[in-house]
Structure formats: C-alpha cells, structure tokens
C-alpha cells in the first residue's frame, strides 16, 4: 500500500515538482486547500516559493493557520520546504515584521550582506551546497537525513534563513560564503528543509523516502 501524503496548496510553490518527487518515492499525493483537508492528513508537506508575508496571508485567507498549528502538535509527520519551513517560525522579518505559524520558536532573517571576515555574501543563495552535521551522528541518523552522508549536495534557492531560539533544533547546516545556514531543522516529527529535496537528485529522494518512513 502506498503512503498517503497531503501537500498544502496555497498558491505559492512548485506543487507539481513536489508531488512528482513524493510519488517517485512511493507516496500517493493529494492537495489540501481547506483546513478540513489539512486536519485529515496522515502526513503533510508545506511547500513554498516566495515571500514570507505573502505566504502567511494566503494561509490566513484559506483559514489554514489554526489547522496547521494543530497538525504540528498532533505528532503526525510534517515537512516544510523552503518558504514552507520559514513559515513555521514565530516571526518573519521579510519586508517588515510578520507573525508566522509559531510552530517552531524563532525568527526568519535576511542573509547578512557580509560575513565575519568582511567578505560579501551572495544573495540570493542559489545552487548546490553541501549539508554538514550541526549536532551529532545520532540525531542525524534518527532523522530524515538517515543514510545521507555529510558533505553530500542539495539544491538551495533563498535569501532568508531561519534562526531557531533552541539551537539544538538545527540538525544540519550549509556554509554559504562563510555563513552557516540552517539546512534542516527538526522538532519532534516536524521537519523543515531550507533546500529543495524535490530538486536535490538522489540525496533529495533519500530525504523524502525517510520522511515517508517516519
């Protein structure tokens, strides 16, 4: 039997690519547009490409905020991709300050224009970057990263990064122009990937398969 996954459709995201990648990994996908759809999911993906404020506004317009917060508390697997991950945070600082879903305590901040050495940081961060271990092997292997080797490459496209209040929630990072970027965050069964697993080749497929096995 295939694993059922519901992908939240709020008009911001590469829905087709995300659904196809999930299907390739053995999932049966459907789209959630209402809070009832979200509540009914066994497993949920919040994708997203775009700006934080627009994302929250659309989720609010579709009355999905409360349903997503409840889903996150239920212990069922939830994966946020790129903007989807950023929307999990309490506050987003993109074009002013906006409240997020507050599923994970923390902020979404712009990538700094210069690193500690005073060198310019390219923004947006676009391209393949290596994931490195931010905590310990145990946490890595007991997460969606199981079987992925530190140093393997995934595909990033973003200008903003998450900053979780509890630093232990960040389990993988990527170094971009000297800046350490949270690449994967985990809080119980809630996961966020700053990169796009659906565009990250075999490594991305491994991560999606692990998510389906949670």
Partner 1 sequence: MSSFRLIARLDVKGTNVVKGVQLEGLRKLGEPNLFAKRYYANGIDEILYMDVVASLYERSNLLSIVKEATKDVFIPITAGGGIRSVDDAAAILRAGADKVAVNTAALKRPEILSEISNAFGSQCVVLSVEAKRNPNGGWTAYYDNGREKSGEDVLDWIQQSGTLGIGEILLTSVDQEGTAQGFDMELIQAVTAAASVPVIASGGMGNMAHLVDLVGKCRPNAVAMAHVLHYDKLTIPDIRERLINKHIPVRSVPSCR
- Binding footprint of partner 1 on the chain (CB under 8 A): 14, 16-17, 20-21, 23-24, 49-50, 122, 124, 126-130, 149, 151-153, 155, 157, 176, 198-205
- Order across the sheet with 104-110: list the strands: 98-99, 89-92, 104-110, 160-164
User: Could you tell me where the DSSP H helices lie in 96-150?
Assistant: 137-141
Question: Three-state DSSP class for 165?
Answer: coil
CB of 210 to partner 1, least distance (A): 15
CB of 149 to partner 1, least distance (A): 8
Cβ closer to partner 1: 10 or 71?
Answer: 10
Q: Please report, for residues 32, 41, 162, 188, the alpha-carbon distance to residue 68 in angstroms, rounded to integers and kept in the order given.
A: 11, 11, 19, 15
170 given a catalytic annotation:
no
Cβ closer to partner 1: 153 or 214?
Answer: 153
CB of 86 to partner 1, least distance (A): 14
- Order across the sheet with 44-46: list the strands: 27-32, 3-8, 44-46, 78-81, 190-193, 179-187, 170-176, 132-133
82 given a catalytic annotation:
yes
Cβ closer to partner 1: 24 or 95?
Answer: 24
CB of 132 to partner 1, least distance (A): 13
125 given a catalytic annotation:
no
Q: Catalytic: which of 25, 82, 174, 193?
A: 82
CB of 204 to partner 1, least distance (A): 6
d(CA 23, CA 10): 20
Cβ closer to partner 1: 73 or 149?
Answer: 149
The residue among 149, 158, 185 whose CA lies nearest residue 170 is 185
Torsion of Cα atoms, 101 then 105 then 108 then 111, to 10°? -160
- Residues with catalytic roles: 82, 196, 198
């Amino acid at each position: 039997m295939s694993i059922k996954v519901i992908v939240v459709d709020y008009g911001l995201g590469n829905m087709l690519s995300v659904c196809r990648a999930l299907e390739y990994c053995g999932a049966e996908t459907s789209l959630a547009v209402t809070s009832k759809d979200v509540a009914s999911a066994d497993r949920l993906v919040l994708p997203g490409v775009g700006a934080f404020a627009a994302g929250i506004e659309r989720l609010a317009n579709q009355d999905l905020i409360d349903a997503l917060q409840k889903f996150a508390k239920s212990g069922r697997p939830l994966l946020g991709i790129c903007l989807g991950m950023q929307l999990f945070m309490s506050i987003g600082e993109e074009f002013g300050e906006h409240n997020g879903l507050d599923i994970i305590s923390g902020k979404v901040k712009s990538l700094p224009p210069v690193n500690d050495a005073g060198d310019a940081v390219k923004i947006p961060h676009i391209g393949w970057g290596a994931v490195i271990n931010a905590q310990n092997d145990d946490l890595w292997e007991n997460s969606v990263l199981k079987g992925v080797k530190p140093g393997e490459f995934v595909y990033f496209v973003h200008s903003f990064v998450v900053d979780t209040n509890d630093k232990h929630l960040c389990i993988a990072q990527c170094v971009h122009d000297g800046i350490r970027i949270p690449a994967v965050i985990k809080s119980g069964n809630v996961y966020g990937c700053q990169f796009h697993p659906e565009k990250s080749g075999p490594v991305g497929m491994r991560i999606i398969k692990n998510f389906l096995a949670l």
